[in-house]
Amino acid sequence: MKRQENYSLLGHNTFGMDVQTTLFVEYDTVDELRTFLQSGELTRHERYIHIGSGSNLLFAGDYQGIVMHSAIRTIEVTEETDTHVLVRVGSGYVWDDFVNHCVMQGWAGVENLSAIPGEVGASAVQNIGAYGVEVKDVIVCVEAMALDGNTRVFAKEECSYGYRDSIFKRELRGAYIVTHVTYRLEKTPTYRLDYGDLRSRVEAHGEPTLKAVRDAVTEIRNNKLPDPKILGNAGSFFTNPVIPRAKYEALKTQYPNIPSYPISEELVKVPAGWLIENAGWKGKALGRAAVHEKQALVLVNLGGATGHEVMTLAERICEDIYTMYGIRITPEVNYV
Ligand SMILES: Cc1cc2nc3c(=O)[nH]c(=O)nc-3n(C[C@H](O)[C@H](O)[C@H](O)COP(=O)(O)OP(=O)(O)OC[C@H]3O[C@@H](n4cnc5c(N)ncnc54)[C@H](O)[C@@H]3O)c2cc1C
């Protein structure tokens, strides 16, 4: 187990915030995590958080407390039939390495989720999604440890999955640490290509393959999203608001181009990126924090920005969006 006091989190958050934590603890096994939790050390500190690779976090400043991180990086097939495999993966496994592994093995289900930063543990907390797929579609169960060291297996149905949401972000926030996730992958792919220009890109190379989908998704993402190694960011900063259809129809008379995706008879989802861009924020900076010039949903650190600067920019955007459209948008990024 790695244990370091006054530790810089610069390498542990994609926003590029050079903040320190009082204590950083990284464990390699479930037993190490249990021993640490039962040592009583958590209660001796003001607060604690468990992080993955920090690609959906924004640190406001130094963290007075314990930051925990999983280095459980096991991967094992726990069931295999003619049609599918169940794969149990450690929470510290890098998500995109897992996707790559699946594609190489010919296991289908996660190829559309290629190139999403982060680790396996957070995938199940965040219910990551992209190109028409959410990870909940392939999750079978989530193994987690409570702060007293007891373990619990959550069936997918117990995780209350919603859009970028789960029980681990709400009722059980901070109460459980995800240690393993089991996914079900299919041996016969069902390609999901009806999102943007994914189909034309994939079919340009002939019959679809898992690798072609992975390559196309990776290429589109690399063109569209800023690389956190160059420009600090945490991907989509806000979630897309879901609003009553009647409200949407009223807005459409004022903004005829406002896009929407149906959710139900009464509800539609509106892309937050469109609302922000249409409000004139794309490419604008406030101090050292800015709205990305190509993708209005992404806030970036132009270099040396503090968490507070990014949060102030986000607040100003939220206020403008509410004034203009009467819609409240909320951060997808976790403030710490
Ligand atoms: C360039 C870029 C593009 C992105 N694109 C997408 C996208 O297309 N779709 C998408 O859904 N997301 C996207 N994201 C957001 C991000 O990749 C996901 O939210 C990812 O799951 C975060 O993983 P992480 O390991 O970095 O978690 P962190 O950001 O470190 O943590 C996220 C949350 O999970 C909790 N957590 C982490 N690990 C554990 C654990 N083991 N047990 C309990 N709680 C835990 C943390 O406390 C925190 O609340 C993008 C981010 C970036 C920077």
- All residues at 6 or more sequence positions from 88 whose CB lies less than 8 Å from its CB, including other chains: 74, 75, 76, 77, 78, 180, 181, 182
pLDDT at 295 over 90: yes
Q: To which H or E segment does residue 109 belong?
A: none
Q: What is the pLDDT of residue 15?
A: 96
Q: What is the pLDDT of residue 196?
A: 82
Alpha helices, DSSP H, located in 106-209:
120-126, 198-203
Q: What is the pLDDT of residue 190?
A: 95
| 81-114 per-position pLDDT tens digit | 999 999 999 999 999 999 999 999 999 999 999 9
Q: Which of 114, 166, 236, 260 is catalytic?
A: 236
* Residues counted in the chain: 336
Q: What is the pLDDT of residue 163?
A: 87
Residue-by-residue DSSP string for 223-266: HHS--TTTSEEEEE-BPPPEEEHHHHHHHHHH-TT---EE-SSS
Q: Identify which of 36, 55, 58, 161 to mutate to test ligand 1's pocket (most ligand atoms within 8 A of the CB).
A: 55
Distance 103 CA to ligand 1 centre (A): 21
Mean pLDDT, rounded, for 22-42? 96
Inter-axis angle of helices 95-105 and 210-224, nearest 10:
150
Q: What is the side-by-side strand order in the sheet with 261-262?
A: 242-244, 267-269, 261-262
Residue 122: which of 75, 156, 169, 85 has the closest Cα? 169
Q: What is the pLDDT of residue 282?
A: 97
Residue nearest to atom 17 of ligand 1 (CA): 117
Distance 120 CA to ligand 1 centre (A): 9
Q: Which of 26, 111, 119, 332 is catalytic?
A: 332
Distance 107 CA to ligand 1 centre (A): 23
3-class state of residue 79 by DSSP = strand
Tokens of 277: 């861009």
Q: What is the pLDDT of residue 314?
A: 98
Mean pLDDT, rounded, for 111-120? 98
Amino acid at 5: E
Mean pLDDT, rounded, for 303-320? 96
Q: Euclidean distance between the first and final Cα of the chain, in Å?
A: 24
Share of the chain above pLDDT 90, in %: 94
26/47 Cα distance (integer angstroms)? 16
Q: To which H or E segment does residue 77 belong?
A: strand 75-80
215/221 Cα distance (integer angstroms)? 10
Q: Is 334 in contact with 17 (CB distance < 8 Å)?
A: no
Q: From the CA of 127, give the closest atom in ligand 1.
A: 11
Mean pLDDT, rounded, for 265-290? 96
146/316 Cα distance (integer angstroms)? 38
47/245 Cα distance (integer angstroms)? 42
Q: What is the pLDDT of residue 205?
A: 82
Residue 236: which of 201, 199, 276, 197 has the closest Cα? 276
Q: Is 123 in the pocket of ligand 1 (CB under 6 A)?
A: yes
Q: What is the pLDDT of residue 45?
A: 87
Q: Is 87 in the pocket of ligand 1 (CB under 6 A)?
A: no
Q: What is the pLDDT of residue 76?
A: 98
Distance of CA 166 to the CA centre of its chain: 12
Q: Which of 34, 73, 88, 164 is catalytic?
A: 164
Q: What is the pLDDT of residue 236?
A: 94
Q: What is the pLDDT of residue 6?
A: 97
Q: What is the pLDDT of residue 279?
A: 97
* Residue whose tokens read 């907390």: 125
Distance 189 CA to ligand 1 centre (A): 26
Mean pLDDT, rounded, for 306-311? 96
Q: Is 266 in contact with 244 (CB distance < 8 Å)?
A: yes
Q: Is 97 in contact with 107 (CB distance < 8 Å)?
A: no
Distance 116 CA to ligand 1 centre (A): 9
Q: Is 114 in the pocket of ligand 1 (CB under 6 A)?
A: no
221/235 Cα distance (integer angstroms)? 11
Report all structural domains of the chain as residue ranges with CATH numbers, in order of start: 2-70 (3.30.43.10), 75-224 (3.30.465.10), 232-335 (3.90.78.10)
pLDDT at 333 over 90: yes
- Can you say whether the dihedral through the CA atoms of 38, 39, 42, 43 is positive or negative? positive
Amino acid at 107: W
**Confidence band for 330, pLDDT divided at 50, 70 and 90:** very high
Q: Is 327 in the pocket of ligand 1 (CB under 6 A)?
A: no
Q: Is 60 in contact with 335 (CB distance < 8 Å)?
A: yes
Q: Is 135 in the pocket of ligand 1 (CB under 6 A)?
A: no
Question: Taking all residues of the chain, what is their mean pLDDT, rounded to a whole number?
Answer: 96
Q: Is 235 in the pocket of ligand 1 (CB under 6 A)?
A: yes
| 51-71 per-position pLDDT tens digit | 999 999 999 999 999 999 999
pLDDT at 258 over 90: yes
Q: Is 51 in the pocket of ligand 1 (CB under 6 A)?
A: yes
Angstrom CA distances, 168 to 98, 123, 142, stand at: 22, 11, 10
**Confidence band for 130, pLDDT divided at 50, 70 and 90:** very high
332 is catalytic: yes
Tokens of 153: 């297996």
Q: Is 16 in contact with 4 (CB distance < 8 Å)?
A: no
| 177-235 per-position pLDDT tens digit | 999 999 999 999 999 999 888 999 999 888 999 999 999 999 999 998 999 999 999 99
pLDDT at 43 over 90: no
Q: Is 49 in the pocket of ligand 1 (CB under 6 A)?
A: yes
